[in-house]
Structure 1
């Protein structure tokens, strides 16, 4: 017990120090937490950790995935979906399909199976938009045409990411085409049951608990509901992450008291980002062997190149369709080029189920780290270039974005 407690403290402390260091260097905290795991995974350090602790970290990592998707679900606003522009939808489709196609084609040419190629393509296609949101806030660009375009793209990308993840897990748990045939019916039944529970039992229970003036009880109720929906999704053969995402959406739709909802989300943020999610990224780092990094350097460069170029190409095609200037199109491209969350979840699940090799997994992790470092840097540089050229980024006064949880996810 004492050894686990000591190792737990060391992991959390190291993750905190690395993430704060990278944050002060104006890079995503995610990169620091992954590197903390890489350091802990070095052979001369890892020997001090018992296997029971590694299993413990893995369990916390699995729980972190559920909490993260629950949080993402609370952020998906139906009213905001109605406001998503056609331009945002077009950019999201281009930004997802082009890197996916390029990644799939590359891996097929290199001789990998169709399933491995699809998984890698999906990992290259997913965007961690919230990293860019922090930069938009920093430069007062959130309530601009550029800010709303990136936010609209992020809303659609959240759905792409969650359902891509559900598809991968369905492939792991199911039986090929038979799973695809029965999945729609199982999903519909699950949604109906989750809806009934969420809109009949949860609001009444929340109202009753709220009268007790206990914020902790309201938060506990939301977590219990979320975990029950996750178990329900598992009983239908669906993924935990899909269940967590649906539970999050239902929580923010069914609880009418906005103060209750705000307190639930804020408490969930603190627990998720302060305690649980760091262990997911530490676990990713533990599975990354820096000793064999240069064995995969060619593949890493190819994947990182495809990931970055794919998004830039998508933004340039979008710019050509909408008569957007070259520099502004590049700015959009770097704005949707961040990585560092759901693609790592997909890669981890695929590795654990032998759908991809350790070599592929390490290349995906390295790609995510490279993209997370390069994209904010290039976004700032391109923004300066656009401002020097005299181009003005238009403010939009009809919509206003609060600095909510979406701006903190995958920071």
Structure 2
């Protein structure tokens, strides 16, 4: 949630409010911070930590990832019809933006509910991790590239992410170095990157509330509904299925990051980017009501 505050700082400094020009020298610095932020995002994910929850997480992902993905394809065809961006890559990206889950937000919810170290908590974390990895793999495949050199340029940020993922279960970097990098990520890499995103975005010029409302409803209903239905089919109670759906519905920083990359590669417009930023923030604030379900943790 701290990252959203830095995003807001950027919005205040940029064309949305104070109209302070974005310094040109900051662009390469922001790019470096973005890549390092993605490296740390990859390090935080882990196949090993999924353990015996991998199979049930894969089953739950049918509802948590596939349902919102298919809904996103339909939404993209509606939003992008008769626009220059209408095309398979743009459709697929918007579908991915609806399908991701915010692992950090899910972890915080589970800690608040004292469910982090339970089987249910581990299942939610495993599912959110799987949704994120699936989204990044699909995103890597749809980014345009005309040659090996252009592929490397367009996929550089993803290279950092998958490098972090590859190292996540290895002894390198050491635990001490990871902790130091995490502090830098929290107070340097993340803040600089998110301030730069907000600084460049003219929110009022690109904000379409009807589009925001449509995407929010489709994204939330498909993510929550798909997760809830799948959890019920797996034998979870109504209360636990509700908790699963609400927790996995948050999208957070992950969606903003991949949306920013998609914007840079011309897969979406600034108008759609603004909509996805609002979606990421709104669905990350939803966990408030989830804390009222804390009494269910002993059921």
Question: 1:273 and 1:392 mapped to 2: Cα distance?
Answer: 30
Contact 1:162 1:241 in 2 (8 A): no
Q: Residues 220-235 of structure 1: matches in 2 within 5 Å?
A: none
Report the Cα offset of residue 331 of structure 1: 0.9
Q: Structure 1 residues 352, 237: closer, same or farther in 2, change over 3 A?
A: closer
The answer on 1:373 being equivalent to 2:285 is yes
What is residue 358 of structure 1 aligned with on the other side? 270
The answer on 1:286 being equivalent to 2:259 is no
The answer on 1:172 being equivalent to 2:172 is no
Task: Decide which of 78, 85, 88 is 2:57's aligned counterpart.
Answer: 88
Question: 1:236 and 1:120 mapped to 2: Cα distance?
Answer: 23
What is residue 104 of structure 2 aligned with on the other side? 130
Question: 1:255 and 1:323 mapped to 2: Cα distance?
Answer: 37
Contact 2:64 2:99 in 1 (8 A): yes
Q: Structure 1 residues 392, 134: closer, same or farther in 2, change over 3 A?
A: closer
Question: 2:164 and 2:219 mapped to 1: Cα distance?
Answer: 29
Between 61-70 and 333-342, the greater mean CA deviation after superposition: 61-70
Question: 1:81 and 1:276 mapped to 2: Cα distance?
Answer: 27
Question: 1:71 and 1:155 mapped to 2: Cα distance?
Answer: 14
Q: Which runs of 4+ in 1 moved over 6 A?
A: none
Task: Decide which of 195, 215, 227 is 1:315's aligned counterpart.
Answer: 227
Question: 2:15 and 2:170 mapped to 1: Cα distance?
Answer: 47
Report the Cα offset of residue 392 of structure 1: 4.8
Task: Decide which of 5, 8, 26 is 1:57's aligned counterpart.
Answer: 26
Report the Cα offset of residue 237 of structure 1: 6.7
Q: Structure 1 residues 290, 247: closer, same or farther in 2, change over 3 A?
A: closer
The answer on 1:145 being equivalent to 2:61 is no
Q: Structure 1 residues 367, 76: closer, same or farther in 2, change over 3 A?
A: closer
The answer on 1:38 being equivalent to 2:7 is no
Report the Cα offset of residue 96 of structure 1: 1.1
Report the Cα offset of residue 332 of structure 1: 0.6
Point out the structure with max Rg over C-alpha.
1
Question: 1:255 and 1:149 mapped to 2: Cα distance?
Answer: 24
Contact 2:144 2:151 in 1 (8 A): no
Paired residues, what number? 294
Q: Structure 1 residues 64, 393: closer, same or farther in 2, change over 3 A?
A: farther
Report the Cα offset of residue 278 of structure 1: 0.9
Report the Cα offset of residue 325 of structure 1: 2.3
What is residue 272 of structure 1 aligned with on the other side? 185
Question: 1:316 and 1:84 mapped to 2: Cα distance?
Answer: 18
Question: 2:248 and 2:204 mapped to 1: Cα distance?
Answer: 31
Contact 1:252 1:261 in 2 (8 A): no
Question: 1:94 and 1:134 mapped to 2: Cα distance?
Answer: 22
What is residue 216 of structure 1 aligned with on the other side? none
Report the Cα offset of residue 70 of structure 1: 1.5
Question: 2:52 and 2:60 mapped to 1: Cα distance?
Answer: 15
The answer on 1:239 being equivalent to 2:213 is no
Report the Cα offset of residue 253 of structure 1: 4.9
Question: 1:234 and 1:356 mapped to 2: Cα distance?
Answer: 19
The answer on 1:29 being equivalent to 2:2 is yes
Contact 1:123 1:343 in 2 (8 A): yes
Question: 1:89 and 1:61 mapped to 2: Cα distance?
Answer: 35
What is residue 17 of structure 1 aligned with on the other side? none
Report the Cα offset of residue 251 of structure 1: 3.8
Contact 2:4 2:281 in 1 (8 A): yes
Question: 2:228 and 2:169 mapped to 1: Cα distance?
Answer: 37
The answer on 1:248 being equivalent to 2:187 is no
Question: 1:161 and 1:304 mapped to 2: Cα distance?
Answer: 19
TM-score by length of 2: 0.87
Question: 2:196 and 2:281 mapped to 1: Cα distance?
Answer: 15
